[in-house]
Structure 1
Amino acid sequence: MPEIKVPELAETISEGTIAKWLKQPGDYVSKGEYVVELETDKVNVEISSEHEGILAELIVGEGDTVQVGATIAIIHEGETLSTNTEETTDSVEPNDLKKPLVNSTNKNEDIQMKPYERIIASPAARKLAREKGIDLREIPTVDPLGRVRKQDVVQVERKARNQETYATTPVTNQTGQTTAVDEGKSVERIRMSRRRETIANRLVEVQQTAAMLTTFNEVDMSAVMELRKKWKDRFYEENDVRLGYMAFFTKAVVAALKKTPYLNAEIQGNELLIKKYYDIGVAVSTDEGLVVPVIRGADRKNFAELEGDLVELAEKARTNKLSLHELQGGTFTITNGGVFGSLLSTPILNGPQVGILGMHTIQLRPVALDKDRIENRPMMYIALSYDHRIVDGKAAVTFLKKVKELIEDPELLLFGS
């Protein structure tokens, strides 16, 4: 019978995790219709069927890791699903899950079969339920004929494990010592998503391989705020998108990168790859963690185009609709912790990039205008983390000063400074 397999995704992706089955056994599937959502290190991908028919069997369950090219489901070509296309199923006695199963020809086992509540389950489901000590009567199934399959048992076992909140649980503290959570204290054990694992591993890898350093400056946001206030209504009417701060900072970053090209580079072996294009990554927070979609050719786009790209990419990120292309190949990253109220932070590099700009919350602070005058101004701290292996302090300070200059006099951005 036709099979649904994990397709080739990208050179750097060799496996993924089944995030969610969009179809269940017994459902009719059209050719090209999405049947499963696959979570990879970078993005969630929906896999479609290349065949038309009834979804006969799910080979793997949600949460399972699968390799590229692996078979994950079986399609029965036709409009009905006959019983001979399914795994061989047997009636099992619900109270005998932990005992060896026998058939009528086995004279050495003596298990009394009761005439009521006979549960239909596949051999794989029976075996797993017996190993896990799960009563088949407590397992919900989506099979149209009511048969319990292996993935149903896996789902119940995983749910029970995740919802176990009262236990004496070994915990490893920062010193590497193993301690125990006192019995009766509420805890929740949640498996890390593949994306969260990847983020964690890469952040640690960057800190271990790069000579990361952060330098700071502060920006008076008065001019940008006045400009936005003056033009925001007309800008929205003409472009159907709102004028935000990120477009100003993206423009300023591109101009600053042109003055400090080593911040738009990466290390490859014993060589520096200095990039003459400006694909700016913008960090977006999602429920699954931080993702960094990329604005291509940011140096060639006007404010409306930048804001339009930002809105589109942010929406795709939050709905898991980003493509691999939209996440790969950035040359520099901007992250805005200010939207969550962060006053100051040291952003971590998004390898293999060698620079990342951190924006922070806007706060009224007293600013000395001259030796006689002090005035409250809307100020923002900005932070540049950079790889000191190829970027010197002079270049880092020059970059931040350029960003500060352009944000405090945003009309300069109109001349492509």
Structure 2
Amino acid sequence: MSEIKVPDLGESITEGTIYKWHVKEGDTVGQGDVLAELETDKVNLEISAEEGGVISAILRGAGENVAVGEVIGRLGGGAPAGGKPPAAEAQPTAQPPAETAAAQPAAAAPAAAPEGQAAENGAAYLASPGARKLARERGIDLAEVGARDPIGRIGQADVKGHGAAAVPAAPIPAPAAPQSAPAGSTPPPGKAADGKETERKRMSRRRLTIASRLVEAQHTAAMLTTFNEVDMTAILDIRKRRKDTFKEKHDIGLGFMSFFTKAVVGALKAYPLLNAEIEGEDLLIKKYYDIGIAVSAKEGLVVPVVRDADRLSFPQIERQIAELASKARANTLALSDLQGGTFTITNGGVFGSLMSTPILNAPQVGILGMHKIQLRPIAIDEETTVNRPMMYIALSYDHRIVDGSEAVSFLVKVKELLEDPEALLLEG
């Protein structure tokens, strides 16, 4: 008999959520077979069998939070004894409730837990590991604990505060549920108070992490956004003339992201504070250029990183971005694909956005937003106006270390490099 444990999840990740099991109790598996999929804050990871055998027990179900090293199942060398799953995993129809209570009266309370546990599991999903442990030690239901965090994540301080307040409040629940309450006072599941249909859906771990980090970025950084616009005529002309040759030679399309990545690298070299981060009372100015490219995936936005972008050619950048985007949409990104970016580029234009204010990807202090290319009348001189393909670009930055003049100059530099691709080839 061997244990199925949650593997080491990588730097700074101590827990995950079981996304789904690929096996069930009684299944025979071989060494290396995928047993379950685990959702973490950043990526989904597969848990594989370290040896062959029969799944004798599944201890934690889909949707449950689990910590690194925790036992979530057992793998035996033969069929499970009696061919029956453990009581905790048995289906409700496997044994009449009365028979269960008669046979094991001491287990009656735990047997009722799976139905009543739903609310606690929902709260535990938003609770830190320390808070869950403290709640278990004090016998506190996490569903009743209020959170001070903006997204509702429960911390140890919330549990301690609830525990202190719970003592005098203990005798009060009796009159809280009077028998005289109107029969229809509580709307049924899927119904709002006025009878209209609703749907309640638990946020995924990744969506919770995105929410938490975006709120954190706005709370911790002095975030400001400045705008400019780029005449895309020269880039569109190059793509029109060179796209077929580029595709034949490099087996990859020539998109916009390689131009923007090169322009950002050139501007970061000219204005290095936008390639820095704050560490305590120090500035950590990075001399390398790992550019994060925001990609929209099913579970939310992810930012895989193009490493050493200053050393890559246009086809190498395009190929890396295409590979990372494909992995993001297939949910196969590795943690190493997401860690350590120095600056981020996000393209809302692919969804039709004309202008936006991107939020920083902390601890980075700069993010460039691209937008939709749109024909607009541009005055060439006092007498001449022409239609040009224009794009608004936005730079959000941390004003704690980047002054407005430097941010504006950075964005102007990006504009100049994009409008003059020859300079882009030299400086990017």
Pairwise CA distance, 1:269: 0.1
- Conserved in 2, the CA contact under 8 Å of 1:335 and 1:358? yes
Residue 219 of structure 2 corresponds to 208
Q: What CA deviation, in whole Å up to 9, does each residue of 1:51-76 have, x standing for no partner?
A: 21111111100000001110011101
Q: Which residue of 2 aligns with 1:387?
A: 398
AA aligned opposite 1:83: G
RMSD: 2.8
**1:24 and 2:24 aligned:** yes
8 Å contact 1:280–1:332 — kept in the other structure? yes
1:81 is displaced (CA, Å) by 4.2
Output the amino acid matched with 2:31. K
Match of 2:279 among 222, 244, 268: 268
Change (3 A) 1:364 1:92: closer
Q: Decide whether aligned partners of structure 1 residues 210 and 315 sit closer, same or farther in structure 2, where only a CA change above 3 A counts.
A: same
1:93-121 CA distances to partner (integer Å, 9 max, x unpaired)? 78954797214x99xxxxxxxxxxxxxxx
Change (3 A) 1:92 1:413: closer
Q: Give the Å deviation of 1:87.
A: 3.2
Q: Pairwise mapping of residues 262-411 of structure 1 onto structure 2 (< 5 A)? A: 262-411=273-422
Partner of 2:43: 43
Q: 1:415 to 1:60 in 2, by over 3 A?
A: same
Aligned-pair distance for 1:344? 0.4
Distance 2:100 2:116 in 1: 11
Q: Is the 8 A contact 1:56 1:85 kept in 2?
A: no
How much has 1:132 moved relative to structure 2?
8.2
Instruction: State the AA in 2 paired with 1:301.
Output: L
Structure 1 residues 98 and 316, CA, compared in 2 at 3 Å: closer, same or farther?
farther
Verify the 8 A CA contact 2:258 2:317 in the aligned structure 1.
Answer: yes
TM-score (norm 1): 0.80
Partner of 1:189: 200
Unaligned segments of structure 1, at least 5 residues: 107-121, 134-166, 171-179
| 2:350 partner letter | V
- Which sections of structure 2, spanning at least 5 residues, go unmatched? 119-185
DSSP 3-state at the match of 1:8 = coil
Change (3 A) 1:131 1:337: closer
Pick one of 146, 163, 168 that aligns with 2:187.
168
Tell me how far apart the structure 2 counterparts of residues 30 and 100 of structure 1 sit (CA, whole Å): 35
The size of the alignment, in residue pairs, is: 359
2:224 aligned counterpart, secondary structure: strand
Decide which structure has greater helix share: 2
Residue 54 (structure 1) aligns with = 54
Residue identity over aligned pairs, in percent, reads 58
How much has 1:181 moved relative to structure 2?
Answer: 3.5
- Asked whether the 8 Å contact 2:293–2:345 carries over to 1, the reply is yes
Q: Contact conserved, 1:98 with 1:131, CA < 8 A, in 2?
A: no
- The secondary structure found in structure 1 opposite 2:19 is strand
Say whether residues 1:243 and 2:238 are aligned partners.
no
Contact 2:343 2:365 in 1 (8 A): yes
2:14 aligns with 14
What does residue 86 of structure 2 align with? 87
